[in-house]
Amino acid sequence: MSAFHLETGGLADGRQILYFNTTPGAGRASFADKRDLGDRVSAGEIRYDVLRDEWVAVSAGRSSRPLLPVACPLCPSGGDDLTEVPAPDYEVAVFENRFPSFGGFSEPGPLPPAAVAGMETAVPASGRCEVVVFSDDHDASLADLGPERVALIVRAQAQRTAALSARGDIAQVFPFENRGVEIGVTLHHPHGQIYGYPYVTPQTRRHLDANRRHRAATGRDLFDDILESERRGPRVIAENDHWTAFTPYAARWPFEVHVYPNARFADLTELPEEYIDAFAPLYLEVLKRCDNAYPGEQMPYMAGWHQAPVAEDRELGRLRLELVSIRRGAGKVKFLASSESVMGGWVHDLGPETAADMLKGAL
Amino acid sequence: MSAFHLETGGLADGRQILYFNTTPGAGRASFADKRDLGDRVSAGEIRYDVLRDEWVAVSAGRSSRPLLPVACPLCPSGGDDLTEVPAPDYEVAVFENRFPSFGGFSEPGPLPPAAVAGMETAVPASGRCEVVVFSDDHDASLADLGPERVALIVRAQAQRTAALSARGDIAQVFPFENRGVEIGVTLHHPHGQIYGYPYVTPQTRRHLDANRRHRAATGRDLFDDILESERRGPRVIAENDHWTAFTPYAARWPFEVHVYPNARFADLTELPEEYIDAFAPLYLEVLKRCDNAYPGEQMPYMAGWHQAPVAEDRELGRLRLELVSIRRGAGKVKFLASSESVMGGWVHDLGPETAADMLKGAL
């Protein structure tokens, strides 16, 4: 169950495509991309926001990206239908995003400067944006794919984390899935993405700072203490020998599930095989509970792996998955307006225990 | 032009209502609220998020609030139509939100503790949430109301900032307007809100920290340096002797306009009368430019006054207004998905200079 077979190929504009196969010798990378794509699109720059102390990518090229295109670019190619995936079938495929927010340059760039002087500082938006296609079945959903496929996807995410971490221009790797038109998903074919950021993201910096303070004050790891506290509490959604899924005490989103491995790992590259195998059925259970919370309504969600940075403060980070949803009632979504979006002042409308009880009862 | 006449009354469930009038003796507060509203609704608690180092309000009562109700509760009362505003007409009315995220308790509560120990800490969500109705004309928009009304609204926001700052349970006052169904506005009658938070919001803390570091490193104020830099740059949208409106160098939202007074004030309570009078026509110009950016499409926006905290780090703060929009093209909005919402990794799709040029050309 643990092995995968990697084939690496290229697309017409020079982007890389990788096939993650459960069987050897599939030969998928041998199919050529017959499209005329013109020059490849590179990301723009990242600018330093002096007031918020964070980097912002400026990527004008992305505004031309397709909005629900007629033909699905993630389906396999076949006959005259030439897509982003040249092979006629596949299990899991990963390729560089054609309209990247980060990267796409011919050479990996440098990380942004650690200290910024002056009001206007910009460097090229180095890094990498990848698309991870979960299945060649356009109409599938991750929740339907079964544990073997989920495990293969996690192994692909782990391989990509290792590869992107080795490039030298990436500070943090974030594998994630956006699902649902309610959060702006433009392609319904089941897929996720991976962002290799050239900086440590603002949210992750906050988590690392909190752990630094907690360790100094208590001598204990903050994530250990959170997990221990939540495992004793009323908001555990699902668990097995290797993983615990819970709605956190101070949840911000109407539905929010954090999935922690029961031991501490920095990122997916450190995750043992048996943890990956144990993650798959547990995560499928979480997804099914989410989809059953409001009968007849798939839950829109954002789910991603929080990983330790590649280098800076790596020892303070901890691997876990967080899934959040804007669904706040039957047919209702929570909009993030001024308080949340502008000030960071969040209001939980349901109450974390109520939301957790709904998920616990939804199977 | 500078005077206003304040009348204070009450609603059926004990909430306060205030009328800001340009003429004395209007007698609006003498109209009684004839509805049977039952007990008043109080906010819940705020919980401390140990991982993000921020407070989250848990307010289960809000989930029953109306979603585009049939009768507008912000229109004046008349005949059998009993609304949140008992008077038969008004200029600007302010009342406590019936479904508050903060406050509504019989007594103002304490501020949250400065230091938190343990994984689960909660205190009552003290503070106050107010609704500011800009006009008794249901179909008006702030941009249509004219400079005298805009000045009266700012004077009302200043009076409320002073009153809420004096309560003792409020750390920061945030007057804001959400406009547009695209960002979830449920009442189309022109109105804004005021949140009196029991904590200094996460975003404001970041701004204060940035200014603290900047002052230590340079001896200068960060906001002064930003304003000076932007006034020399290519992204000024509108200006007069007292105010400068610009799209910032590292804008995060597709359209983003920051409106700074040309001198430093902590909050609206310090703003001189001539600044208020000069703000009104300039802000109306900004709003008209926004509405003209995509012909035939009102721009959805969030606009709010960033003010210094009531006490903590007050000397590091600075009054200015920020207006941001998710409009990213004709008929297109930007969704904040995993990178922005979860990691704080923002991507600007248009480019700040392009967006600024569109606003500069839109009148």
Q: Based on the domain organization, do B64 and B110 belong to the same domain?
A: yes
B324:A341 CB<8 A: yes
Q: Give the whole-angstrom CA distance, residue A86 versus residue A73.
A: 10
Q: Closest partner residue to A47 among B214, B249, B303, by Cβ?
A: B249
Does residue B64 surpass a pLDDT of 60?
no
Same domain for B245 and B157, yes or no, is no
Predicted local distance difference test score (pLDDT) of residue A59: 84
Single residue among A133, A163, A198 that ends a domain in this structure:
A198
Mean pLDDT of chain B, nearest integer: 95
Taking one residue from A and the other from B, the number of pairs with CB-CB distance under 8 angstroms is 229
Report helix, strand and coil shares of chain B as percent, to nearest 5.
Answer: 30, 25, 45
Please give the radius of gyration of chain A, using alpha carbons only, rounded to the nearest integer. 20
Q: Are residues B195 and B208 in the same domain?
A: no
B349–A contact, CB cutoff 8 A: yes
- Domain shared by B186 and B228, yes or no: no
Residue A217 CB: number of other CB atoms within 10 A? 11
Smallest CA–CA distance, residue A75 to chain B, in Å, is 23
- Please list every residue in chain B whose beta carbon sits closer than 8 Å to the beta carbon of residue A183: 335, 337
Q: From edge to edge, which strands make up the β-sheet containing B45-49?
A: A346-348, B54-58, B45-49, B122-124
Residue that is last in its domain, among B139, B164, B199: B199
Q: How far apart are CA B238 and CA B246, in angstroms?
A: 7
Q: B interface mutation test: which of A53, A56, A131, A182 has the most B CBs within 10 A?
A: A56
Q: Can you give the pLDDT at residue A361? A: 96
Same domain? A351 vs A217: yes
Same domain, B96 and B149: yes
CATH number at residue A355: 3.30.428.10
Tell me the mean pLDDT in the region B15-24: 97
Is B269 in contact with B158 (CB distance < 8 Å)? yes
* More confidently predicted of A187 and B175: B175
User: How close B59 gets to chain A, by Cα (Å)?
Assistant: 5
Q: Do A345 and B57 touch (CB under 8 A)?
A: yes
Dump pLDDT digits (tens) for B291-348: 999 999 999 999 999 999 999 999 999 999 999 999 999 989 999 999 999 999 999 9
* Selected catalytic residue, list A188, A191, A242, A258: A191
| Contact by Cβ (8 Å): A258, A124 | no
pLDDT of B67 over the 90 cut? no
In this prediction, residue A3 carries a pLDDT of 84
Residue B129 annotated in ligand binding? no
Is residue A201 within 8 angstroms of chain B, CB to CB?
yes
CB contact A350 to B (< 8 Å): yes
CB B289 within 8 A of CB B255: no
Same domain as A10, residue A148: yes
User: Which pair of structure tokens corresponds to residue A4?
Assistant: 């995968």
pLDDT band at B117 (very low <50, low <70, confident <90, very high): confident
User: Each residue of A89-105: pLDDT tens digit?
Assistant: 999 999 999 999 999 99
CB nearest A249 (choices: B119, B209, B302): B119
Instruction: Give the whole-angstrom CA distance, residue A36 versus residue A16.
Output: 16
CB B173 within 8 A of CB B161: yes
**A127 and A95 belong to one structural domain:** yes
Q: What is the pLDDT of residue A2?
A: 59
pLDDT tens readout for residues B200-210: 999 999 999 99
A176, two tokens: 């994630």
Residues of chain A whose pLDDT is less than 70? 1-2, 61-69
Closest partner CB to B184 (pick from A59, A322, A335): A335
Express the helix, strand and coil content of chain A in percent, nearest 5 each: 30, 25, 45
Number of domains in chain A: 2
Contacts of B52 in chain A (CB under 8 A): 203, 206-207, 210, 250
* Interface touch B63/A347, C-beta < 8 Å: no
Question: Of B140, B171, B199, which residue sits at a domain end?
Answer: B199
Axis-axis angle for helices A273-292, A352-360 (nearest 10): 100
Are residue B274 and residue B289 in the same domain, yes or no?
Answer: yes
Judgement on whether residues B171 and B239 belong to the same structural domain of the protein = no
Residues of B within 8 A of A354 (CB-CB) are 60
Query: Sorting pLDDT into bands at 50, 70 and 90, what band is B59?
Result: confident
CA of B342 to nearest chain A CA: how many angstroms apart? 7
Taking the CA of residue B161 and the nearest CA in chain A, the distance in Å comes to: 16
Say which residue the tokens 């103002």 belong to. B108
Tell me if A203 and B342 make a contact (CB, 8 A cut-off): yes
Task: Note the Cα B184 to chain centre separation in Å.
Answer: 15
Tell me, what's the pLDDT at A186? Answer: 83
Which residue range is the domain that position A73 belongs to? 5-198
**CB-closest option in B56, B60, B302 to A250:** B56
- What are the CB-based long-range contacts (under 8 Å, 24+) for B111-120? B111/B169, B111/B171, B111/B198, B111/B199, B112/B46, B112/B48, B112/B55, B112/B198, B112/B199, B116/B48, B116/B50, B119/A225, B119/A226, B119/A229, B119/A230, B119/A249, B119/B50, B120/A229, B120/A233, B120/A249, B120/B47
B185 touches A: beta carbon within 8 Å: yes
Q: Is B290 marked as a binding-site residue? A: no
ipTM: 0.95
Residue B259, token pair as written in the block: 């409106």
Tell me: do A244 and A159 sit in the same domain.
no
Q: Do A273 and A224 belong together in one domain?
A: yes
